[in-house]
């Protein structure tokens, strides 16, 4: 049996799944001041009367790190930044303890200026004096050559509890995002460690000692141990959990939209042949941009509790929420009130709902029912408009080869999968308005916990071979080997495959669930100097795609 728990901002959802379906499901209010208590209480309820030996897998998704960022409750972190030529690194300052140091590596990974060890020693003293315990070290182009980061770490190691290095974060180039991501990992590390060690100990005391898997923002899992180096990857795993929960209902070989309609916001995501689309670079939310692999989701300020108002005879919905719907004691009319007035939703206090909608109806010079219908339609059309805008944006992403330009895949969704409280009421209306097959997915209120429970391990590796310099590297994995001039693209792909499987197994993957490998990127170039070929550059990125573990998809499909 499998346990999936998704600790959300408002509610915590948990499920116990067996090969015959959902054994237990729980929804509890999240105690954001004590997430540990919330998780334990879920475990106790799920495991009550269950043979512990039958539990094979535990996956947890939490808002722990997300909360820490939002509430600015992170450890103070010292950052040592080696930039070399380019944009002034002061623009990416993370706080007081941010030091730009000498040394430079170029785009080929060649050292252009050395590290000044005295300077680093000096900075170490300053950071110690300031009470810093955790440090991030990031050098520009460290993914091509991490030697400066490693050297700086060697100097700092004895002074600090843990030193985080930029090149471990991702194989992708992007210095500012690498700084932000390294800072995040260092900043939430002790919180993450303390929390999950407590969870693990409590489970052990209950007699449950199987490894815990943690859900990441890319909809995949990692083992508790590997999460310790990259706690930042757990940010925004909540939306990922929901999207993963929609996969069993997505059509094969077609594109689908996933809409998670909540109270305040609606999350939008896409599935292509049942695999979620990933952000090309990493999570971004407003000004915050990172290299954390993530599903491509966007959160828009419209949901069941969005405020409905009339301004200059125009109906406006959201983006703010002032409380629950009036039918549930809130202060302002909302789309939920409209659903109740229309008789679609049999809950809440109908008189209060009517009272709210009536104000709007007066201002629009409509009957209550017409006003409610107008609100409902408008709400659907706002959600769909945002969705189509996102599709346009995804479809206009730049490409860099003639082949990709001509073969460019464009997503064109054939089905909409709805999640969240009001989902069943919206499904019919959206289908009627937009003529796209729309369903509210079964068990939609715990789909997120199901998604977490069934998510498989994901990972990505970036491998570069440079036959002129005679080396193949995946610095993210601390991998570097000499190669000959005759190293071929087949050699590269084979090496990448081996590394990927190793990484997956080290992250706690189940050997039965590591074959869905995809070559995300492959490039090769001749290196020519003075008109003679000097070697070749091969680059590849390979990933274990986000998806569900084998054998459990069918149990969820209801007739």
User: Residue 82 is encoded by which pair of tokens?
Assistant: 């080696």
Q: Is 531 in the site for other proteins (CB under 8 A)?
A: yes
Within 13 A of 336's CA, how many CA atoms are on the CB side? 30
Q: How far apart are CA 282 and CA 296, in angstroms?
A: 9
User: Residue 255 is encoded by which pair of tokens?
Assistant: 């594109």
Within 13 A of 530's CA, how many CA atoms are on the CB side? 0
Rounded least distance, CB 178 to other proteins, Å: 9
b or e along 480-499 (b: 16 or more beta carbons within 10 Å of the residue's beta carbon)? Answer: eeebeeebeeeebbebbbeb
Q: Is 287 in the site for other proteins (CB under 8 A)?
A: yes
DSSP string, 381-413: HHHHHHHHHHHHHHHT----SHHHHHH------
Rounded least distance, CB 150 to other proteins, Å: 19
In the complex with other proteins, the residue whose CB is nearer, 112 or 161, is: 112
Q: Determine which residue in the list 396, 412, 484, 554 makes contact with other proteins, applying CB under 8 A.
A: 396
Query: H-type helices in 396-488, by residue range?
Result: 402-407, 423-434, 447-454
In the complex with other proteins, the residue whose CB is nearer, 287 or 313, is: 287
Tell which phi-psi region holds residue 6, choosing left (phi > 0), alpha (psi between -120 and 50) or beta: beta
Instruction: Tell me the window of 153-161, 198-206, 310-318, 394-402 that interacts with other proteins (CB under 8 A).
Output: 394-402
Q: Is 113 in the site for other proteins (CB under 8 A)?
A: yes
Window 147 to 186, contacts with other proteins (CB under 8 A) = 173-177
Rounded least distance, CB 237 to other proteins, Å: 23
User: Do 321 and 300 meet the contact criterion of CB atoms below 8 Å apart?
Assistant: no
Instruction: Tell me the window of 106-114, 161-169, 301-309, 434-442 that interacts with other proteins (CB under 8 A).
Output: 106-114
Query: H-type helices in 396-529, by residue range?
Result: 402-407, 423-434, 447-454, 489-506
Phi and psi of 359, rounded to 5°?
A: -55, -45
Q: How many CB atoms within 10 Å of residue 138?
A: 28
User: Residue 94 is encoded by which pair of tokens?
Assistant: 């993370």
User: Do 77 and 186 meet the contact criterion of CB atoms below 8 Å apart?
Assistant: yes
In the complex with other proteins, the residue whose CB is nearer, 412 or 530, is: 530
Instruction: Tell me the window of 228-236, 284-292, 364-372, 482-490 that interacts with other proteins (CB under 8 A).
Output: 284-292
Rounded least distance, CB 179 to other proteins, Å: 9
Q: How many CB atoms within 10 Å of residue 512?
A: 10
Q: Which of 256, 243, 297 is nearest to 444 (CA)?
A: 243
In the complex with other proteins, the residue whose CB is nearer, 103 or 547, is: 103
Rounded least distance, CB 82 to other proteins, Å: 13
Q: Determine which residue in the list 131, 346, 398, 482 makes contact with other proteins, applying CB under 8 A.
A: 398
Q: Determine which residue in the list 397, 412, 486, 554 makes contact with other proteins, applying CB under 8 A.
A: 397
In the complex with other proteins, the residue whose CB is nearer, 10 or 523, is: 523
What is the DSSP secondary structure assignment for residue 133, as one 8-state letter?
-
Q: How far apart are CA 268 and CA 300, in angstroms?
A: 8
Mark residues 501-530: x for contact with other proteins by CB under 8 A, - for none: ----------------------x-xxxx-x
Q: Determine which residue in the list 104, 181, 227, 387 makes contact with other proteins, applying CB under 8 A.
A: 104
What is the DSSP secondary structure assignment for residue 108, as one 8-state letter?
T
Window 533 to 552, contacts with other proteins (CB under 8 A) = 533, 537
Rounded least distance, CB 87 to other proteins, Å: 5
* Residues whose CB falls within 8 Å of the CB of residue 255, separated by 6 or more in sequence, listed in order: 270, 271, 272, 273, 411, 412, 413, 414
Query: How far is residue 109 CA from its own chain's centroid?
Result: 30
User: Residue 236 is encoded by which pair of tokens?
Assistant: 């925004």
User: Residue 332 is encoded by which pair of tokens?
Assistant: 């302002």
In the complex with other proteins, the residue whose CB is nearer, 56 or 523, is: 523
In the complex with other proteins, the residue whose CB is nearer, 272 or 527, is: 527
User: Residue 152 is encoded by which pair of tokens?
Assistant: 């700086």
Q: Determine which residue in the list 112, 322, 485, 550 makes contact with other proteins, applying CB under 8 A.
A: 112
Window 17 to 76, contacts with other proteins (CB under 8 A) = none
In the complex with other proteins, the residue whose CB is nearer, 448 or 469, is: 469
Q: Is 399 in the site for other proteins (CB under 8 A)?
A: yes
Mark residues 125-144: x for contact with other proteins by CB under 8 A, - for none: ---------------xx---
Q: Is 108 in the site for other proteins (CB under 8 A)?
A: yes
In the complex with other proteins, the residue whose CB is nearer, 205 or 401, is: 401
Q: Determine which residue in the list 45, 53, 86, 197 makes contact with other proteins, applying CB under 8 A.
A: 86
Which residues face 419 on adjacent strands? 260
> Can you give the binding site for other proteins, defined by CB under 8 A?
83-88, 91-92, 104, 106-108, 112-113, 140-141, 173-177, 281, 284, 287, 289, 396-403, 405-406, 523, 525-528, 530-533, 537
């Amino acid at each position: 049996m499998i346990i999936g728990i998704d600790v959300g901002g408002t509610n915590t959802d948990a499920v116990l799944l067996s090969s015959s379906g959902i054994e237990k499901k729980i929804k509890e209010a999240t105690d954001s001041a004590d997430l540990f208590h919330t998780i334990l209480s879920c475990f106790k309820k799920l495991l009550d009367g269950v043979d512990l030996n039958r539990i094979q897998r535990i996956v947890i998704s939490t808002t722990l790190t997300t909360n820490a960022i939002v509430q600015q409750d992170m450890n103070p972190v010292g950052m040592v930044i080696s930039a070399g030529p380019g944009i002034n690194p002061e623009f990416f300052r993370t706080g007081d303890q941010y030091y730009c140091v000498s040394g430079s590596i170029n785009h080929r990974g060649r050292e252009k200026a050395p590290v000044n060890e005295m300077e680093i020693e000096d900075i170490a003293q300053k950071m110690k004096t300031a009470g810093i315990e955790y440090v991030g070290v990031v050098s520009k182009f460290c993914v091509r050559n991490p030697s400066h980061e490693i050297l700086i770490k060697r100097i700092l190691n004895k002074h600090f509890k843990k030193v985080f290095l930029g090149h471990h974060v991702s194989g992708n180039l992007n210095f500012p995002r690498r700084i932000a991501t390294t800072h995040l990992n260092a900043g939430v590390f002790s919180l993450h460690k303390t929390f999950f060690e407590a969870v693990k100990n409590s489970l052990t005391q209950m007699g449950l000692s199987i490894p815990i898997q943690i859900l990441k923002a890319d909809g995949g899992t990692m083992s508790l141990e590997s999460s310790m180096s990259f706690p930042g990857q757990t940010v925004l795993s909540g939306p990922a959990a929901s999207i993963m929960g929609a996969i069993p209902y997505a059509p094969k070989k077609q594109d689908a939209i996933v809409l998670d309609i909540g109270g305040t916001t609606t999350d939008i995501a896409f599935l292509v042949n049942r695999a979620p689309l990933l952000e090309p670079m990493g999570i971004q939310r407003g000004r915050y941009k990172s290299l954390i692999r993530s599903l491509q989701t966007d959160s828009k300020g419209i949901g069941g509790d969005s405020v409905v108002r009339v301004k200059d005879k125009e109906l406006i919905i959201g983006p703010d929420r002032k409380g629950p719907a009036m039918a549930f004691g809130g202060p302002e009319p909302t789309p939920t009130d409209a659903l109740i007035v229309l008789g679609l939703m049999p809950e809440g206090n109908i008189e209060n709902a009517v009272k709210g909608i009536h104000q709007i109806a007066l201002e629009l010079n409509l009957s209550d029912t017409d006003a409610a219908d107008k609100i409902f339609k408008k709400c659907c059309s706002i959600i769909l408009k945002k969705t189509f805008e996102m599709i346009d944006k995804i479809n206009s992403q730049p490409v860099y080869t003639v082949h990709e330009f001509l073969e460019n895949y464009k997503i064109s969704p054939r089905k909409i999968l709805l999640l969240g409280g009001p989902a069943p009421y919206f499904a019919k209306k959206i289908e009627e308005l937009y003529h796209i097959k729309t369903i509210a997915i079964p068990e939609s209120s715990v789909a997120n916990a199901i998604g977490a429970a069934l998510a498989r391990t994901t990972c990505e590796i970036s491998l570069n071979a440079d036959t002129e310099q005679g080396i193949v590297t995946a610095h993210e994995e601390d991998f570097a080997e000499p190669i000959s001039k005759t190293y071929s693209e087949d050699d590269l792909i084979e090496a990448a495959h081996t590394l990927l499987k190793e990484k997956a197994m080290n992250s706690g993957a189940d050997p039965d669930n590591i074959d869905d490998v995809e070559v995300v990127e492959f490039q090769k170039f001749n290196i020519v100097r003075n008109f003679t070929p000097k070697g070749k550059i091969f680059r590849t990125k390979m990933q274990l795609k986000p998806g569900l573990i084998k054998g459990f998809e069918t149990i969820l499909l209801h007739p």
